[in-house]
Amino acid sequence: MSLNVHNRRTSKKHFQVDPLLMPKVPRTNYLHLQEEKHRLQLKKFLLHRMFLVGYVQANLEKKEITEYYEKLFQSILKNHLGEAVTGLLLVYSRTFMHILETSNGTLFRILLDYVAHEKEDKEYMIQNVKIIVASHNIPTRLFMQWHVSVIKVPVLYLEDVTQSQSLAEVTTDFLSMTHKLALHLFKTVKVGTKGPGDNLHQVAPDLLLPEQTIEYLCKAEEFMDPATFLNMYNRPIHITLDSEIVWPAPSRF
């Protein structure tokens, strides 16, 4: 009898964990770190940035394109969860350059709306859109709001630099100039104001992209249009191997 009691006591002591051996630092993982990072930045979704170029309809009014995008952004955020849209839209005489910062689902629906308009309306106000680059999971925004600026002042260029540069060089210059312009606006434009207005040619003339550069990128076949991008986006990741559709199934050792 005493032997059994002694065995039970020793077994209980055997399963007790010494508190000195318990970890003092709380264990976490990479997912928790990312969630905490986004919580501190007041973000519910990952942020993405997309650079677009394309042609605009002749004599396009600023009010027309501004109202269209503002209504589109409001409609998307009203019906789908996502981050607010910030960025910059530069409208030239024949072309435009658009920077968008928002969550992935919102970007997807903006492109989807353009593709739908392109199919239904051949005289749509923006045409031949090309996606220059899409940056995923950006750490912070370059813009605190979404702005539209019309570049109406004619600028004369002594030399078309795109004729002597490769596509990679033109694209690098394009991204470098747009980032410099974005940083300039980030430092000078206050939150809640109307934005840079239509006098960027006076405020930052050295940071404006030549329209010939945008036209060059619009004609480049290496960049995808929104329809091609969406088809690739919706394509399933899973790939069926040839060995999975033959019979009898091959044996593996």
Q: Would you give the DSSP letter of residue 251?
A: P
Higher pLDDT, 74 or 29: 74
63 to 37, 73, 90, 149, 231: CA distances (angstroms): 38, 15, 13, 11, 32
Q: Answer for the pair 138, 48: CB distance below 8 angstroms, yes or no.
A: yes
Q: What is the pLDDT of residue 45?
A: 79
pLDDT confidence bin for 31, thresholds 50/70/90: low
Instruction: State yes or no: pLDDT of 4 exceeds 60.
Output: no
Q: Which stretches within the chain are classed as H helix?
A: 2-15, 30-40, 62-79, 104-120, 167-188, 200-203, 211-219, 226-234
Cα–Cα dist 107/134, whole Å: 10
- Residue that the structure tokens 């002594």 belong to: 158
Kindly list the domain boundaries of the chain, sorted by start residue.
Answer: 46-153+163-234
- Tens of pLDDT, residues 161-207: 667 789 999 999 999 999 999 888 888 877 666 667 777 777 787 88
At the topology level, CATH places domain 46-153+163-234 in Alpha-Beta Plaits (3.30.70)
Predicted local confidence at residue 248, as pLDDT = 62
Q: What is the pTM of this model?
A: 0.73
The pLDDT of residue 14 is above 80: no
